């Protein structure tokens, strides 16, 4: 299984807040699939991170469906449970412990200054009458993410631009831990994909922003060919160029088509057609795999449970080493030894 091979480890994943879309595909999923050949991979379904902005009971009741959909999307794009440990974050309690220990090493003002954390707080307040106060959980979001990365001792973390700062935090924590207690962690490296994001589709104002689950300006992995065609129909100029860049697979035809689009040598309808056929070629096998998996009752759940059990072993092992290096094991063992000495003394004959 992936977790026990001696390849360099990779960890990445997403919060289960909705279906995945083409922006995820080009920004991270393709790479996740390709890197399975060279790395021992972990794919986190980060439900605890979802709780940082969605802690209400009603929101938690939506998680089972969201988690299932996410795993189904991952499997259908080719994340392979034989090579990638797909796991549920909240099912690995050792990570909560590790996160608490790492919090001791992180200045709060470093977190307060992070744009990503402030953006998430703002996004969570949209549609509510007052801005939600920044919870301690949201402030510590990047530390929990560092715990995910470090528990797996991951060297490589493929992420989108909005998460690069969090990988920096994980590096800082790894370095600080090593300095204080001894070498344990490799310093994780972020890795961005060739195409980090896609522009949105739909109305003009939605096209001006990047494709996003929460805005809904997305082409979903589950969209059928006619839906894809309708949405690609809304693209113009630089939007078209961005899609050609993301979906025309071969470098030379891609550069030629981009050039032709910019100079007007090829008109928008022909470019849209080229985009649609490239997207279709990529989505067709994904749809077929999804249909197959969705038919096997309990299969998706089984994969997630098996992955979570593997992740638990890895996390527990890391936590043990952390406790040893920090001296917390010695603290506990000292107490147990004293207790044992007393028990021995009680056995002495009168
Ligand atoms: N923060 C990621 C997101 O925006 C999810 C995530 C949680 C993650 N833990 C991680 C990504 C560890 C990479 C590595 O959805």
Categorise residue 260: left if φ over 0, alpha if ψ from -120 to 50, beta otherwise.
Answer: alpha
Sequence-distant (6+) residues with CB within 8 A of 59 are 50
Give Dmax (Cα) for the chain. 104
Closest atom of ligand 1 relative to the 14 alpha carbon = 15
Smallest CA separation from ligand 1 atom 8, residue: 13
State whether the beta carbon of 15 lies less than 6 angstroms from ligand 1: yes
- For the CA atoms of 28, 31, 32, 38, what is the dihedral angle to 10 degrees? -160
Lookup: tokens for 122: 């703002």
Lookup: tokens for 246: 């993301």
Which of 39, 54, 11, 31 has its CA nearest to residue 147?
Answer: 11
State whether the beta carbon of 163 lies less than 6 angstroms from ligand 1: yes
The pair phi, psi for residue 187, each rounded to 5°, is: -80, 120
Strand order from edge to edge, sheet including 84-88? 84-88, 40-45, 9-14, 156-158, 189-191
DSSP character string of 162-216: GGHHHHHHHHHHHHHHHHHH-S-PPPPEEE--SS---B--SSHHHHTSB--TTTT
Closest atom of ligand 1 relative to the 141 alpha carbon = 1
Q: Which CATH superfamily is domain 2-199+298-331 in?
A: HUPs (3.40.50.620)
State whether the beta carbon of 12 lies less than 6 angstroms from ligand 1: yes
**Cα–Cα distances in Å, from 206 out to 130, 193, 242, 266?**
25, 23, 15, 25
Distance 141 CA to ligand 1 centre (A): 9
Sequence-distant (6+) residues with CB within 8 A of 152 are 9, 11, 42, 311, 314, 315, 318
pLDDT digits (tens, 9 = 90+) for 307-336: 999 999 999 999 999 999 999 999 999 999
Start-to-end CA distance of the chain, whole Å, equals: 57
| Burial (Cβ within 10 Å: 0-12, 13-18, ≥19) of residue 95 | buried
Closest atom of ligand 1 relative to the 15 alpha carbon = 15
Domain locations along the chain: 2-199+298-331, 223-295
| Length of the chain measured in residues | 350
Smallest CA separation from ligand 1 atom 14, residue: 12
Count the neighbouring beta carbons within 10 Å of the beta carbon of residue 232.
20
C-alpha–C-alpha distance, residues 288 and 300, integer Å = 15
Closest atom of ligand 1 relative to the 158 alpha carbon = 13
Question: Best of 148, 151, 155 to mutate for ligand 1, by most ligand atoms within 8 A of CB?
Answer: 148
Q: Tens place of pLDDT for every residue, the chain, 350 residues?
A: 555 578 999 999 999 999 999 999 999 899 999 999 999 999 999 999 999 999 999 999 999 999 999 999 999 999 999 999 999 999 999 999 999 999 999 999 999 999 999 988 888 887 777 777 789 999 999 999 999 999 999 999 999 888 999 999 999 999 999 999 999 999 999 998 888 889 999 999 999 899 988 788 999 999 999 999 999 999 999 999 999 999 998 888 899 999 998 898 999 999 999 999 999 999 999 999 999 998 899 999 999 999 999 999 999 999 999 999 999 999 999 999 999 999 999 988 88
Which of 46, 158, 57, 141 has its CA nearest to residue 99?
Answer: 141
What predicted TM-score, i.e. pTM, was given to this entire model?
A: 0.93
Question: Best of 9, 16, 20, 46 to mutate for ligand 1, by most ligand atoms within 8 A of CB?
Answer: 46
Do residues 36 and 6 touch, judged by C-beta distance below 8 A?
Answer: no
Smallest CA separation from ligand 1 atom 3, residue: 14
């Amino acid at each position: 299984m992936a977790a026990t091979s001696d390849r360099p480890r990779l960890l990445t994943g997403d919060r289960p807040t909705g279906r995945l879309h083409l922006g995820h595909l080009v920004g991270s999923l393709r790479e996740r699939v390709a890197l399975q050949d060279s790395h021992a991979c972990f794919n986190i379904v980060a439900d605890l991170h979802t709780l940082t902005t969605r802690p209400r009971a009603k929101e938690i009741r939506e998680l089972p469906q969201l988690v299932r959909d996410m795993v189904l999307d991952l499997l259908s794009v080719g994340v392979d449970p034989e090579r990638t440990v797909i796991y549920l974050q909240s099912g690995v309690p050792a990570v909560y412990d590790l996160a608490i220990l790492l919090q001791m090493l992180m200045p709060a003002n470093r977190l307060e200054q992070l744009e990503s954390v402030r953006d998430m707080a703002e996004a969570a307040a949209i549609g509510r009458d007052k801005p939600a106060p920044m919870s301690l959980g949201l402030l510590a979001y990047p530390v929990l993410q560092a715990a995910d990365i470090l528990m797996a001792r991951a060297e490589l973390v493929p992420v989108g631009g909005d998460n690069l700062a969090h990988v920096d935090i994980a590096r800082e924590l790894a370095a600080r831990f090593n300095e204080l207690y001894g070498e344990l962690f490799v310093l994780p490296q972020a890795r961005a994909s060739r195409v980090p994001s896609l522009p949105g589709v739909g109305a003009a104002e939605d096209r001006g922003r990047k494709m996003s689950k929460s805005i809904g300006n997305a082409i979903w992995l589950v969209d059928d060919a006619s839906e894809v065609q309708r949405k690609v129909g809304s693209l113009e100029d630089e939007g078209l160029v961005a899609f050609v860049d993301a979906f025309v697979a071969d470098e030379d035809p891609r550069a030629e088509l981009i050039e032709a689009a910019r100079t007007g040598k090829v008109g928008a309808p022909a470019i849209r057609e080229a985009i649609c056929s490239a997207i279709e070629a990529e989505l067709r096998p994904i749809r077929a795999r999804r249909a197959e998996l969705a038919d096997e009752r309990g299969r998706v759940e089984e994969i997630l449970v098996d992955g979570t059990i593997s992740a638990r072993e890895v996390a527990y092992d890391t936590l043990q080493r952390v406790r040893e290096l920090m001296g917390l094991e010695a603290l506990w063992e000292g107490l147990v030894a004293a207790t044992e000495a007393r028990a021995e003394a009680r056995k002495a004959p009168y």
